Amino acid sequence: MSDAHADQDWRAWFAENGARLRLIARQWTRSEADADDVVQEAFVRFWKHQRHLPGNPNALVVTSIRRAALDLLRRSDRRSVREQAVGADMETVSWFEPEADPRLQSLADSLKLLPPEQREVVVLKVWGDLTFDQIGEQFSISPNTAASRWRYAMEALRKHITVRTHD
């Protein structure tokens, strides 16, 4: 494959998947800038070394993002400082453009209320397009545990969104 063709391939793939990958990275980072750095690092690693591996390329790049994000967090501060910063940042994250459907923004606001384990499963299932098997591999849990976290999250989101629509 020519260099020009390979250059176009990665640009097209990233144009199609970049926003989704950034959203995924945002779940494990403190800031938008950290998410951008993590996506760049993970995508370069994936594109240079893993894109030819067998298996679902989506799962491979999501794994790279998660690892890059966790590496960044480990290098940064103590765990308690990290958790405080992530919690504070989650309050200001704009997941959707302001002109987007208000129901989507309501959903994004509701996600912040979920426990981190459930929120991560929802993000990887919806935006990451991963199976419960793949999510289980990400967190070293069984696919059944991933599916349970999904069910609990969906139940909590339904209750919260129902309450908000009746207010």
pLDDT digits (tens, 9 = 90+) for 146-164: 999 999 999 988 887 765 5
Domain 1-93 sits in CATH 3.30.460: no
Query: What stretches in the chain show pLDDT beneath 50?
Result: 1-5, 79, 82, 92-93, 98
Q: What is the pLDDT of residues 102-120, one digit of tens each?
A: 666 677 777 888 898 998 8
The residue among 23, 27, 68, 20 whose CA lies nearest residue 44 is 68
- pLDDT computed for residue 82 by the predictor: 41
For domain 97-167, give the CATH number. 1.10.10.10
pLDDT of res. 29: 87
Domain boundaries, the chain: 1-93, 97-167
* DSSP H or E run through 39: helix 32-45
Residue 49 CA to residue 93 CA, distance in Å, equals 32
> pLDDT value at position 2?
44
Which of 31, 126, 119 has the alpha carbon at shortest distance from 72?
31
